[in-house]
Amino acid sequence: AQKITQTQPGMFVQEKEAVTLDCTYDTSDPSYGLFWYKQPSSGEMIFLIYQGSYDQQNATEGRYSLNFQKARKSANLVISASQLGDSAMYFCAMREDSGAGSYQLTFGKGTKLSVIP
Amino acid sequence: SAVISQKPSRDICQRGTSLTIQCQVDSQVTMMFWYRQQPGQSLTLIATANQGSEATYESGFVIDKFPISRPNLTFSTLTVSNMSPEDSSIYLCSSAEGAGGPYGYTFGSGTRLTVV
């Protein structure tokens, strides 16, 4: 089974509107971390936001917020006031803190976001 | 967080040849990883580069095809051997510091490889 599922291969959003990118995850580890990365066409991986499994509040970083619903195992990224520069691939990733493979990041398939002027 | 210099940024190689990709980190880091990203796809972990010992490879990746070195805590190389067009991908290295917390992961800028 996939550990990270991103069900939206592509999304369109009007400039200045908000958009939600979906991410669900699967783990039995009680301690884990969830990440969102942005990858523009240049290929670099840009860290956006992080949510720890024990964090009580949803993470926010500027225009980015993470809608963390632990019981549903979802960690959706919300981008407010979209800008043309937000057009990129967005990856959700998870780090599981126990057992073999600790510190490895597992990535979802990504969502290609296109911002329309 | 650490900064990684990855070289080369891109290359076009003939099938059957090998390419070595280098990653230099500006500080000592606990873990280093190598990923492959095929066109339009997600990042797939190739291996964890272990300092002073053999790398730990993920299922589907073997040392003969992707030999990895990590001679110290700031440097690692990945070689793509006996290349075929199917090896055309972006290859990224990554480092993790400490407990790999929110700001503990850094990525190189990637190597865009085309095999002809």
The per-residue DSSP string of B29-91 comes to -SEEEEEEE-TT--EEEEEEEPTTS--EEPTT--TTTS-EEEEETTEEEEEE-S--GGG-EEE
Q: Per the CB < 8 Å rule, is B30 touching A107?
A: no
How confident is the model over A30-80, as pLDDT tens digits? 989 999 999 999 888 999 999 999 999 999 999 999 999 999 999 999 999
Contact assignment for B103 to A104 by CB distance below 8 Å? no
| Of B2-11, B45-54, B84-93, the least confident | B45-54
Instruction: Give B19-55 pLDDT, tens digit per residue.
Output: 999 999 999 988 899 999 998 899 999 999 988 888 9
3-state class of A62 per DSSP? coil
Q: Does A47 sit within 8 Å of B112, measured CB to CB?
A: no
Can the peptide bond before residue A9 be classed as cis, meaning omega within 30 degrees of 0? no
Report chain B's mean pLDDT, rounded to a whole number: 92
Q: What is the pLDDT of residue B114?
A: 97
Integer Cα distance of A105 and B100 in angstroms: 9
Instruction: Name every residue in B having a CB less than 8 A away from some CB of A.
Output: 30-31, 33, 41-45, 48, 90, 92, 94, 96, 99-103, 105, 107, 109-110, 112
**Rounded Cα–Cα distance for residues A57 and A70 (Å):** 11
- What are the structure tokens assigned to A62, written together? 């500027």
Dump pLDDT digits (tens) for A3-32. Answer: 999 999 999 999 999 999 999 999 999 989
Class of residue B75 by CB neighbours under 10 A (exposed 0-12, middle 13-18, buried 19+): middle
pLDDT for B104 equals 76
Nearest CA in chain B to A44: B109
Give how far A97 is from chain B: nearest CA, Å.
Answer: 9
Whether the CB-CB separation of B94 and B30 falls below 8 Å is answered with no
Minimal-distance CA residue of chain B relative to A97: B99
- The predicted pLDDT at position B30 comes to 82
Chain B touched by A64 (CB under 8 Å):
no
pLDDT at B67: 97
